[in-house]
A and B are shown apart, each in its own frame.
Chain A
Amino acid sequence: MINFSNLPVAVRQVIAFAKRDFRDWRTYKTQVITQVITIAIGILSWAINAVYRNRPVPEYDTDYISFLVVGLVIGNLVMPISQGLERRLNPWTLENIIMTGISIPVFVAGQMAWPYIFSLITFIPQLLIGILWFGVKLSINPLSTALAFVISAMILLGLSMISVGFRLVTKSTDPITWTINTLQQLLAGISFPVQFLDSFLPGISSLSWFLPQTWVYHLWRLSMLKAAAITDPLTQIECLKGFIFALILFPIGYRAFKWGLNRAKKDGTLGWF
């Protein structure tokens, strides 16, 4: 049994955020039920769709259903890292939270804690449905999966902090993140390998590799579908490319978040919508 009193203050603070959001979430009882059903139906729908269109995906040595379901699982497992911060940002409580003197990293981690835990909880049944019902074949390398997680978390957290930094100032969606997220739908390879785009417009897939999310999906699929070993030089190069995005985006995101916070303090609009 964990003794919460002995945990470091920062960890207790992150847990407090998660606990608050969980308590808030469970009070919406209908929403809890509909959310779980939506997730289950979502995965069924995508999987049935994938079975219908099933074809080999040579880029990852797998079939389409495994490719798609893993993509969907990644979306649920990793994307909440960015969505948590954006969706839980509540201007009404922001001023009071800042007045507690909490540090920015703890605040960021706290805001995304519950959405992430929720995704982890739903990740397991999703994966089980995929494997047991639809015959999804996974070939996982734990080390490279862990590395993919770290790199994707840095990328997505960076993007999210950029977005929130802008939102704190504009009180509206920021155009940069909106553009990246919209392009992701088409170019990041969520439901098809990016190379497939070239059959419509030769060379367009090279644009995909400039999108940070493409690397999130790519690295996860390499580690979950191809069991890419971390010792393999090809894997190392792919990870390095993704890591460069992470190294650029994470500090930019942190600075953008701090800029947004200071700018809102300067404009006196911290508690505004």
Chain B
Amino acid sequence: MSKAAIETVNLVKQYPAVLRNVRNRHPWMAWQVGGLREIFSRKKNFIRALNGVNLKIYRGEVFGLLGPNGAGKTTLIKILCTLVLPDGGEAYVNGYNIIKEPSRVLRNLQAVLGDPRGFDWRLSAKQNLEFYATLYGLPRDYAKKRVEELLDLMGLSDRANDMYQRFSTGMARKLQLCRALLLDTPIILFDEPTAGLDPASAVDFRHLLKDELAKSEGRTIFIATHNMWEAQTICDRVAIINRGEIIAWGSPENLKMYISPEKNYVLTIDGCCDALKMKEFMNEAFSLTGVKDLRLQADNASVRISIRVDKDFVFSEILDIMVKYGLKIKDVESYEPSLEEVFIALIRGGKRSL
């Protein structure tokens, strides 16, 4: 059996553009003219939402799909959920083909799609979950128990009998997760998991995804987001998608290294020191192989040295020279690019694999 929880092979999806244009220009004639033409015409314009997407997500990992708005993230999630049919390529969920075996796919994967309107607003949280539990085919007694367990897990037990329309965004998101967990599938997909949540709720939600669902329960978590910090914090691996193409993939750390092959350090020297000694230190340090740049900044209280080196440079070589010249280090800071900078660099650049 394949180790991949999710695998896509050259996945292609394109949407007809004509209907949208006709509707935007002439909403009143969308159906009468544009709608009919759109449905039956063979000549159509298309927008490519996915253009040959290849991904392999392994069991038990937290995988992040990053991309700007309109990059194709939601389309990919909906294809995996069997809600959108691809135009080309293949996709597998735990080895099941999403087109040929949709019911088996849905027994292995559920999603939190993020749209708060997906519940009946006039029913309570409990009634909504019981309704979906029946649709999932759960036995009645087990369903009741499971609903209560999940409401408890999400901290919603106190509000179980409140109408869904009274729920805040955070509570609605938790209830969506309850629904996705009803069937206890090994894979859960999230579309923008913390969008609209306050910082405290977002932290709780991330903790739930990473520590409870992934680490403790061993589920595969797939999140689509444009929140770089979130991806950096919780994902084992990420892929960056832009205009329907995966342009980079790998661990967040590797991605950072890739766009910035050099490292930057700032050393703060304790107290003032002899100018001649400092000049000699600078000359000797700059002569080391791998040192690209060395700058000195001094004020009355301290001296700061900024060093740019190759990523393979052994930093202890610098420290040895400092000891030799009797320089005392007060502080060392290293700087590395954030995933956000990686993202921007890659979106403006080309395809990278790691």
A24 to B39, CA, bound (A): 35
- In the complex, which residues 72-115 of chain A have their Cβ closer than 8 Å to any Cβ of chain B? 92-93, 95-102
Identify the stretch in B57-65, B127-135, B148-156, B294-302 within 8 Å (CB) of chain A at 4 or more residues.
B127-135
Tell whether, in the assembled complex, residue A16 and residue B131 are in contact, meaning their CB atoms are under 8 Å apart.
yes
Contacts of A270 in B (CB 8 A): 83-84
Q: B102 contacts the other chain (Cβ, under 8 Å)?
A: yes
Contact A92/B140 with A172-B30, A270-B83 known, Cβ cut-off 8 Å: no
A241 to B15, CA, bound (A): 43
Contacts of A13 in B (CB 8 A): 134-135, 137
Interface string of A10-34 (1 = CB under 8 A from B): 0011011101100110011000000
Q: A233 contacts the other chain (Cβ, under 8 Å)?
A: no
User: Which of A13, A15, A24, A266 is most buried by chain B, counting CB atoms within 10 A of its CB?
Assistant: A266
Q: B242 contacts the other chain (Cβ, under 8 Å)?
A: no
Shortest CB–CB separation between residue A178 and chain B, in angstroms?
Answer: 11
A194 to B15, CA, bound (A): 47
A55 to B218, CA, bound (A): 76
Shortest CB–CB separation between residue A194 and chain B, in angstroms?
Answer: 31
Chain A binding site: helix, strand, loop or mixed by DSSP? Answer: helix
Shortest CB–CB separation between residue B200 and chain A, in angstroms?
Answer: 27
Tell whether, in the assembled complex, residue A96 and residue B132 are in contact, meaning their CB atoms are under 8 Å apart.
yes
Q: B225 contacts the other chain (Cβ, under 8 Å)?
A: no
User: Which of A4, A17, A20, A173 is most buried by chain B, counting CB atoms within 10 A of its CB?
Assistant: A20
A100 to B84, CA, bound (A): 15
Tell whether, in the assembled complex, residue B131 and residue A24 are in contact, meaning their CB atoms are under 8 Å apart.
no
Total number of A-B contacts with CB less than 8 angstroms?
101
Contact A101/B102 with A23-B123, A93-B119, A265-B83 known, Cβ cut-off 8 Å: yes
Query: Which of B82, B111, B136, B140 sits near A4, CB closer than 8 Å?
Result: B140
Q: B78 contacts the other chain (Cβ, under 8 Å)?
A: yes
Give the nearest-CB partner of B117 in chain A.
A92
Tell whether, in the assembled complex, residue B120 and residue A5 are in contact, meaning their CB atoms are under 8 Å apart.
no
Interface string of A164-182 (1 = CB under 8 A from B): 0000011011000000000
Q: B69 contacts the other chain (Cβ, under 8 Å)?
A: no
Q: A9 contacts the other chain (Cβ, under 8 Å)?
A: yes
Tell whether, in the assembled complex, residue A268 and residue B13 are in contact, meaning their CB atoms are under 8 Å apart.
yes
Q: A267 contacts the other chain (Cβ, under 8 Å)?
A: yes
- In the complex, which residues 6-47 of chain B have their Cβ closer than 8 Å to any Cβ of chain A? 13, 15-16, 19, 30-31, 35, 39
Interface size grouping (class) on chain A: 35 or more
Contacts of B163 in A (CB 8 A): 27
Contact A101/B107 with A4-B140, A13-B135 known, Cβ cut-off 8 Å: yes
Shortest CB–CB separation between residue A7 and chain B, in angstroms?
Answer: 9
Tell whether, in the assembled complex, residue A99 and residue B84 are in contact, meaning their CB atoms are under 8 Å apart.
no
Interface size grouping (class) on chain B: 35 or more
Tell whether, in the assembled complex, residue B127 and residue A23 are in contact, meaning their CB atoms are under 8 Å apart.
yes
A262 to B87, CA, bound (A): 12
Shortest CB–CB separation between residue B188 and chain A, in angstroms?
Answer: 12
Give the nearest-CB partner of A166 in chain B.
B39
A19 to B301, CA, bound (A): 76
Tell whether, in the assembled complex, residue B135 and residue A100 are in contact, meaning their CB atoms are under 8 Å apart.
yes
Tell whether, in the assembled complex, residue A262 and residue B85 are in contact, meaning their CB atoms are under 8 Å apart.
yes
A12 to B137, CA, bound (A): 8
Q: A271 contacts the other chain (Cβ, under 8 Å)?
A: yes
Contact A266/B136 with A24-B123, A93-B118, A93-B120 known, Cβ cut-off 8 Å: no
Contact A95/B123 with A5-B139, A267-B15, A268-B78 known, Cβ cut-off 8 Å: no
Tell whether, in the assembled complex, residue A271 and residue B81 are in contact, meaning their CB atoms are under 8 Å apart.
no
Tell whether, in the assembled complex, residue A267 and residue B31 are in contact, meaning their CB atoms are under 8 Å apart.
no
- In the complex, which residues 153-199 of chain B have their Cβ closer than 8 Å to any Cβ of chain A? 163, 179
Contacts of B136 in A (CB 8 A): 100-101
A9 to B103, CA, bound (A): 15
Give the nearest-CB partner of A93 in chain B.
B118
Contacts of B81 in A (CB 8 A): 95, 99
Query: Which of A92, A169, A268 sits near B118, CB closer than 8 Å?
Result: A92
Q: B122 contacts the other chain (Cβ, under 8 Å)?
A: yes
Give the nearest-CB partner of B87 in chain A.
A266
A267 to B113, CA, bound (A): 18
Contacts of B82 in A (CB 8 A): 98-99, 265
Shortest CB–CB separation between residue A97 and chain B, in angstroms?
Answer: 6
Query: Which of B15, B107, B132, B139 sits near A268, CB closer than 8 Å?
Result: B15
Tell whether, in the assembled complex, residue B15 and residue A96 are in contact, meaning their CB atoms are under 8 Å apart.
no
Q: B331 contacts the other chain (Cβ, under 8 Å)?
A: no
Q: B235 contacts the other chain (Cβ, under 8 Å)?
A: no
Contacts of B117 in A (CB 8 A): 92-93
Contacts of A268 in B (CB 8 A): 13, 15, 49, 75, 78, 84
Q: Can you list 9 pairs linking A and B with CB atoms under 8 Å apart?
A: A13-B137, A15-B134, A93-B117, A93-B119, A95-B78, A265-B82, A265-B83, A266-B85, A270-B83
- Closest 4 interchain pairs by CB? A92-B117, A16-B134, A100-B135, A101-B106
Contact residues of A with B, CB < 8 Å?
Answer: 4-5, 9, 12-13, 15-17, 19-20, 23-24, 27-28, 92-93, 95-102, 169-170, 172-173, 262-263, 265-268, 270-271
Known: A23-B123, A95-B113, A101-B136. 10 other contacts (CB 8 A): A16-B134, A17-B131, A96-B118, A98-B82, A100-B132, A101-B106, A102-B135, A172-B30, A263-B39, A271-B115
